[in-house]
């Protein structure tokens, strides 16, 4: 199940514009499924700047460590501390309680190259 109301990156992050204009970021079901049981998450702090395409955190699972990439440039305004204390919530609810950070974008537009649900489904099927 790939929620139709979100946008997606080819690095397996999902992106949602909130009512405040901030951009909420998480990893997709496909990403958490590929990682396996998530045991540790490292996220930036509110106030930290992130650059589009750069790594801003890590997710460690029983299988591997994966970098989390910023889908846009901006300032981290919120982070989900729940995933740092209970990282398994990403496995059980990646599109809800398992969100990672909210970023206030430097630009008002979302970055180009984001995929819609159908585009992301085709991308993961093609891999």
User: What is the distance between the alpha carbons of residues 99 and 60, in angstroms, rounded to a whole number?
Assistant: 15
Q: For position 107, what pLDDT does the model report?
A: 77
What is the pLDDT at residue 33?
96
Residue 123 lies in a domain: no
Does residue 12 form part of some domain?
Answer: no
Please check whether residue 51 lies inside any domain of the structure: yes
Residue 80 lies in a domain: yes
> Distance of CA 126 to CAs 10, 35, 116, 122, Å?
12, 18, 15, 6
Q: What is the CATH number of the domain that holds 41?
A: 2.40.50.100
> What is the structure's pLDDT at 127?
57
What pLDDT, on the 0 to 100 scale, is given for residue 112?
Answer: 77
Pairwise CA distance, residues 106 & 103, whole Å: 9
Residue 12: its pLDDT value, please?
96
Burial of 75 (0-12, 13-18, 19+ CB in 10 A): middle
pLDDT given for residue 109 in this prediction = 67
Residue 87 counted as domain residue: yes
Domain span holding position 67: 23-111
CA distances from 115 to 9, 51, 111 (A): 6, 19, 10
| pLDDT tens, N- to C-terminus, the chain (127 residues) | 899 999 999 999 999 999 988 999 999 999 999 999 999 999 999 999 999 999 999 999 999 999 999 999 999 999 999 999 999 999 999 999 999 999 999 876 667 789 999 999 999 998 5
Q: SS in 3 state form for 72-97?
A: CCEEEEEECHHHHHCCCHHHHCCCCC
């Amino acid at each position: 199940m790939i929620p139709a109301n979100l946008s997606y990156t080819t690095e397996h992050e999902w992106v949602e514009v909130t009512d405040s204009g901030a951009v909420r970021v998480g990893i997709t079901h496909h990403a958490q499924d590929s990682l396996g049981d998530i045991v540790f998450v490292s996220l930036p702090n509110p106030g930290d700047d992130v650059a589009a395409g750069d790594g801003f955190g890590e997710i460690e699972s029983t299988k591997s460590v994966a970098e989390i990439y910023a889908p846009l440039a901006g300032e981290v305004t919120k982070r989900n501390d729940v995933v740092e204390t209970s990282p398994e919530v990403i496995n059980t609810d990646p599109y809800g309680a398992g969100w990672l950070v909210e970023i206030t974008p430097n630009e008002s537009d979302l970055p180009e190259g984001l995929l819609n649900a159908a585009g992301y489904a085709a991308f993961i099927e093609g891999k």
